[in-house]
């Protein structure tokens, strides 16, 4: 259909240890998301405990590549997705 975004795939997201208590103790969660933006939005709605972390800044690893601010980055089907602390260098 013209004008609508493609339907997001169900994405399996692994959380780093400290996030697990904010996600009801789970170390992996599943949401429907085609991009990082959608991922954050849906995660924040499904697990409100994660929202403060997302607002503060989280990095996302997609198939081993780390993204810090690229929220329009698409998530390929079956990709390995990790949430990581938003790290910086020196």
Partner 1 sequence: MPLDVKPDLKREFDVVGTRPLRPDGIDKVTGRARFGADATAPGMLVGRILRSPHAHARIRGIDTSKAEQLAGVKAIITRDDLPDHSNGDRATYDILYNCMAREKALYEGHAVAAVAAVSAAVARQALKLIEVDYEVLPHVTDVDAAMKPDAPVIHDDIFTEGVEPKPDKPSNVARRSEFGHGDVEAGFREADVVISRSYKTEATHQGYIEPHACLASVSPDGSGELWVCTQGHFMIRNVSSQVLGMEISRLRVTASEIGGGFGGKTHVWMEPIALALSRKANRPVKVVMSRDEVFKATGPTSSTSIDVKIGAKKDGTIVAAEAILRYQGGAFIGSWADLGAMTAFACYDLRNVRTVGYDVIVNRPKTAAYRAPSAPMAAFAVESTVDELAHKLGLEPIDFRIRNAAREGTRSSYGPTYGPIGIGATLSAAKNHPHMSAPLGNNQGRGMACGFWFNFGGQTCTSLNINLDGTIALSVGTPDIGGSRASMCLMAAEELGIPYEKVRCVVADTSSLGYNDVTDGSRVTFSSGMATILAARDAIKKLCGRAAQMWGISEEAVIWEKGYAKPAGPNAGEFPPLSLKEIAAAAATTGGPIAGHHEFNADGAGVSFATHIVDVEVDRETGATRILRYTVLQDAGKAVHPAYVEGQFQGGAAQGIGWALNEEYVYGEDGRLQNAGFLDYRIPVCSDLPMIDTVILEIPNPKHPYGVRGVGETSIVPPLAAIANAVSNAVGVRMTHIPMSPPRILKALEGRS
What residues make contact with partner 1 under the rule CB under 8 A?
Answer: 14, 16-18, 20-21, 56, 61, 63-70, 73, 80, 82, 84-85, 87-90
Q: Write down the least CB distance from residue 38 to partner 1, Å.
A: 17
User: Closest approach of Cβ 86 to partner 1, in Å?
Assistant: 8
**Residue 11, beta-bridge partner list:** 31
Closer to partner 1 by Cβ: residue 33 or 58: 58
Between 7 and 18, CB nearer to partner 1:
18
DSSP collapsed to 3 states, the chain: CCCCCCCCEEEEEEECHHHHHHHCCCCEEEEEECEHHHHHHHHHHHCHHHHHHHHHCEEEEECCEEECCCCCCECCCCCCEEEEECCCCC
Minimum Å gap between C-beta 83 and partner 1 is 8
């Amino acid at each position: 259909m013209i004008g609508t975004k493609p339907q997001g795939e169900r994405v399996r997201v692994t959380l780093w240890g400290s996030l697990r208590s904010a996600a009801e103790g789970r170390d992996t969660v599943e949401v429907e998301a085609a991009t990082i933006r959608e991922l954050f939005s849906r995660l924040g709605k499904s697990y409100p405990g994660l929202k403060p972390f997302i607002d503060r800044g989280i990095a996302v690893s997609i198939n081993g590549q780390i993204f810090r601010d690229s929220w329009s980055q698409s998530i390929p089907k079956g990709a390995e997705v990790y949430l990581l602390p938003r790290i910086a260098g020196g």
